[in-house]
Chains A and B, each alone.
Chain A
């Protein structure tokens, strides 16, 4: 491997860990990012002559730290903003090797908790996590949130300023705060995962969310939820190749080619889920959702799906994490057990809470189709099309509408 390959590999694999360590040392997100970039550039030129150092990551960290110290010495304004300069200079001057590595298991973990602090708005938590831990550019994050790049840049500045000015700690929370803080972290990671279904970014957000899930699982092996969340994401992700066809059109779960589901992901997901259930994950939202996902993933054919068990799990889920969307999924499961009419009855109370959600009329349309009530199905598909915002879903609904319309005479 030549030097530029070595630097590139290091950047791809260790960037987030290095950045997290530097943010921990410098307490300044922008400064950390800038000196890290400079240190990588220095590595490219210096390693060419001297060879790649024994511990490249530590080399980058201490080079970047020294660059930060140089800058702070030159810049009085920066120095005033930076009360920790003395400490930083002291560690740099003694030429002490970076002891950070032994002291702290992984700075990425502290960074996750800082980015997902409940004193930050939810959207800012996600944006900051994508920026620091996933290395997305401001442009890419702006595209995920469908806002302009300058607007997103401004939001990122505002949130980093709040972290500094409000004194949001850079640490793994103490045990008494851990359960509630982990909930926020889980929610952020899962939102990043689900955003990955539709977001077109250079980095795959589903994989990034799974990677963050692995970090949590690694650091909290005794807790049940990180394993359950990771299992849930892996099980959903196992269908990634079959969810859409070559033209990007949606393929429904029941019509997917199950031989193309990722067997390794399913196997890992099921094993993680079983371990998590033994630790009590059956009482948590992610444990129940992962159990449902596992029942789908392990059914060899669609007709082998254990719908009564899935319907029962949705009942549990609607008690643990009540939401009209969960009730919608529960109604679908009931329709598979007791028939489409029973499913439609379960949907009735959802008209008001889900009046803007396209999947409600889309589900009604589907159930009416099964009852061969073509006119009603068409009517519901039209409602769904008027609400949908995502392009592949719109194409799918229009295609369904065209098909059911062939079964009954058009209105004059």
Chain B
């Protein structure tokens, strides 16, 4: 199964020394064959939200929801099951200061139930 690991943490507490730890983690899950993709995101201050209502597009400054912790990056991984996915999520450096949300990718081969 594929899982998206969403990394939430308080941007204000961003620590540049985390960089090498992230590189090491990424290398590790590439070696183990779990890595499919992943990226860090620019600050939530750069976020733009788009909504289309009654055919009109509304573009507003800011994220979908103002929260104490912001989405700062993600990994897309392959894992046998939820326990493997959560074990990988727990190894993400940001898990120690923020929260990792684990979301299964909906398989497009099977219709949505």
* CB-based contact A169/B111 at 8 Å: no
Q: Which residues of A contact B82 (CB under 8 A)?
A: 117, 119, 166-169
A152-193 contacts to B, CB under 8 A, are 161, 164-169, 173, 177
**Complex Cα distance A81/B109, Å?**
8
Q: How large is the interface on A (under 10, 10 to 19, 20 to 34, 35 or more residues)?
A: 10 to 19
For B81, the closest partner residue in chain A by CB is: A169
**Complex Cα distance A81/B110, Å?**
5
A304 proximal to B (CB < 8 A): no
Q: Which residues of B contact A177 (CB under 8 A)?
A: 83
B57-113 contacts to A, CB under 8 A, are 79-83, 85-86, 104, 106, 109-111, 113
A63-86 contacts to B, CB under 8 A, are 77, 80-81, 83
Q: Which residues of A contact B85 (CB under 8 A)?
A: 167
B1 proximal to A (CB < 8 A): yes
**A80-B111 contact given A166-B104, A167-B1, A167-B104, CB 8 Å threshold:** yes
For A165, the closest partner residue in chain B by CB is: B104
**A80-B109 contact given A165-B104, A167-B1, A167-B104, CB 8 Å threshold:** yes
Q: Which residues of A contact B83 (CB under 8 A)?
A: 168-169, 173, 177
Interface size in chain B (residues, C-beta < 8 A): 15
Majority secondary structure, B binding face: loop
The listed residue with most A CB atoms (<10 A of its CB), out of B83, B86, B106, is: B83
* CB-based contact A77/B81 at 8 Å: no
A47 CB, nearest partner CB in chain B, Å: 36
**Complex Cα distance A166/B106, Å?**
9
**Complex Cα distance A177/B111, Å?**
33
* CB-based contact B113/A81 at 8 Å: yes
Contact of B80 among A119, A165, A169 (CB under 8 A): A169
B54 CB, nearest partner CB in chain A, Å: 33
Q: Which residues of B contact A80 (CB under 8 A)?
A: 109-111
Q: Which residues of B contact A166 (CB under 8 A)?
A: 82, 104
Q: Mark A78-104, 1 if CB is under 8 A from B, else 0.
A: 001101000000000000000000000
Given A164-B113, A169-B81: 7 more A-B contacts, CB < 8 Å: A80-B110, A81-B113, A119-B82, A161-B113, A166-B82, A167-B82, A167-B104
Q: Which residues of A line the B interface, CB within 8 A?
A: 77, 80-81, 83, 117, 119, 161, 164-169, 173, 177
Nearest first, the 7 A-B pairs at minimum CB distance are A169-B81, A167-B1, A167-B81, A167-B82, A168-B82, A166-B104, A166-B82
27 contacts between A and B (CB under 8 A): A77-B111, A80-B109, A80-B110, A80-B111, A81-B110, A81-B111, A83-B109, A83-B110, A117-B82, A119-B86, A161-B113, A165-B104, A165-B106, A166-B104, A167-B1, A167-B3, A167-B79, A167-B80, A167-B81, A167-B82, A167-B85, A167-B104, A168-B81, A168-B82, A168-B83, A169-B82, A177-B83
Q: Which residues of B line the A interface, CB within 8 A?
A: 1, 3, 79-83, 85-86, 104, 106, 109-111, 113
